[in-house]
Structures are given as C-alpha cells and as structure tokens.
Chains A and B, each alone.
Chain A
Amino acid sequence: MSGRAWLRGLRGVFWGLLFAALAKGCGGAGLPTTPATFPYEATPRAQASPTVRPTPHPPATVTTPRPPSVLGSFYERRLLSVEWPRQLREGDSDWVRLRLEVDQRGVITPTVTVGDHDITGQPVYIPDLYETHNIYLQARLAAVGLHLDPSGEVQEALAPGQTVDIYWTLRGDEPGTYQAVLTARLHLVPKDPAQEERQLLLTHQLFQMQVVNFLGLSGFWVRLGGFFSALIGMLLQLPDLLALWERLKGRDDTPSAAPADTGPAQPT
C-alpha cells in the first residue's frame, strides 16, 4: 500500500512539473530581462526599445539631417578612461594616463546631441564636427605635493578614428596621501573664423594616491638594501659551501675514502 501511495505521489509531482513547464513555455514572457547596455550609449532609431516614451518635441539641435542608413554609423560610443597608480614608492616615478577611446566601430566623432537621450531613448542626431571644427582634447592634472610632468595644461588634437592618450609622469618625495584632480575639456575651434571657439568640460576626476616607503627607506635604498642583504646572506654561507665543495671533490678523487670523510662537517 505504501508503495502505491508513493508511486501516486511521484506521478502527481511529474504531472505538476509537466504542467508548470508547459505553462511557462506558452506564457513565454516570464520576467522581462533588460539587456546590459552602456549607460550613455545612444540607441539607433531602428533598434529603439518599444518602451521608449515618445517625446512631444523633437531634438532642437538637429542641424544636419542624414538618411537613416547613414544615421546608424554616427551613433557612437566613446569612452574616457583615467588610469593612475594607487601607491607610489617614495622617490620612484609613475604615470597617469588619460585616454579617449574610440568605440568598437573605430569611430570617434565629436558629437552634438541633446541631453537625456540615454534615459528617454530619444534618437540622437550626431553631426560630424570634424567637417566644421578643429577639435582638441585639453587636460590638466593637479596634485599638490607631487612632482608632475608636464605641469599645466596639455593639448592633443583629435582625429577621426584615433585614440588619444595623454600621459603624465609623477614622483612623490614625501610619504603620505595625496589628492589629485584631473580636468579634461574638448576645445572646439571652428574652421570658419566668424564663429567663436568653445570649450566643453568632459570630466573632473578626483583620485587619491599614496606615497609609501619601507621602514623609512625610499624605493632606491630599499632595492639597494635588498641587493646587499642577498649578497651578505650568500657570503655567510660561502665557507660552508666551499667546504662542501671540497668534500665532494675529495670524494670524487678518492672513491674508496673512508665514510668519516663524507660525514657532516664539524661545527667551527
């Protein structure tokens, strides 16, 4: 009896599972999954999500209408990345890098667009500013107490499809925690002299760097100390190593030597 009851229960579980699977398959939806998209990535018009709210007013800065087939190629993803050392050895130098990366399509077109497009899903029109402007990336790194090179503002010209890197080297001579501020701007210089130049702030990046030492020694002296410590450690073992070598050599020369000769060395 108990065996039958058990079988009946098992059958019930099987049908329950089958029913649940069928219901899920037919219902289909489940929880809506949102694709992991880049937060600021512009979505092409053709691929816009159906949940995007239509906006009553079209973007005001649409100046150069383009055919839809071309529009897609102007939606771009550009990234600004800053790389810096968390820790610096006292007296040693290191570098900070500001990089303006191109996207996967190799496009780095400076853009004119309307804000909040990534939130509302508005299509974004992106005229190519290279046609009308010379564009420069300007950056300044400031860190009180650290030696920076170059100091002051650095400027690099932007070119279509090229990643731009700006490097600073820095050195800390006193241990401690230092605050650094990196400011980056786009400098738009119109080719038409009648128009005025513009500067657009890209980022203010704040970060911390620590300058550390080892028992009060800077990086150079620590390396030197490590070298001489290794040398002393090996020299201290030199007499024993030489004695061992002599013993092994003597054993090789006289294979019939007494076992006492090959024994451990006596303490000196």
Chain B
Amino acid sequence: MTRRWRLLLSLAFLLLAAIMLYWGLRPPAHEVVTQPLPVVVP
C-alpha cells in the first residue's frame, strides 16, 4: 500500500468517524409546547 493510499484510507476512516460520532453524540432536539391552563370550574 502506497503512502498516498494509506493517507486516503485514513482520511476516509476519520471522516466516517466524525459522521458517526456526530450522529451518535449530538443531543436530541426537543420540542416544547406551551399553553395556558384552561379555565376550570370545580
């Protein structure tokens, strides 16, 4: 394996690692719904 191929393969693995770690570690987005309490008559 030539040095150039080793470099390309290494970069491919590092890119894959970056994508996988980003996908696996990013905090999930949350949604919030806020509403006023409805009027209650006990």
Contacts and interface: CB of A to CB of B under 8 A. Distances in A.
A230 B29 contact: no
B13 A85 contact: no
B36 A115 contact: no
Nearest to B37: A78
Contact of B20 (A82, A229, A265): A229
B39 to A, nearest CB: 5
Interface residues of A, number: 59
A237 B42 contact: no
Q: Is the interface of A mostly helix, strand, loop or mixed?
A: mixed
A169 to B, nearest CB: 13
Contacts of A236: 6-7, 9-10, 13
A113 B13 CA distance: 64
Contacts of B1: 268
Interface in B1-29: 1-4, 6-7, 9-14, 16-21, 23-25, 28-29
Contact of A227 (B9, B21, B33, B34): B21
Interface of A: 38-41, 61, 77-89, 92, 94, 100, 110-115, 117, 129, 133, 186, 188, 198, 200-203, 205, 207, 214, 219, 222-223, 225-230, 232-234, 236-237, 239-240, 265, 267-268
Interface of B: 1-4, 6-7, 9-14, 16-21, 23-25, 28-42
Please list the 5 inter-chain residue pairs (A to B) with the smallest Cβ-Cβ separation, ordered nearest first.
Answer: A226-B20, A233-B13, A40-B36, A229-B17, A230-B17
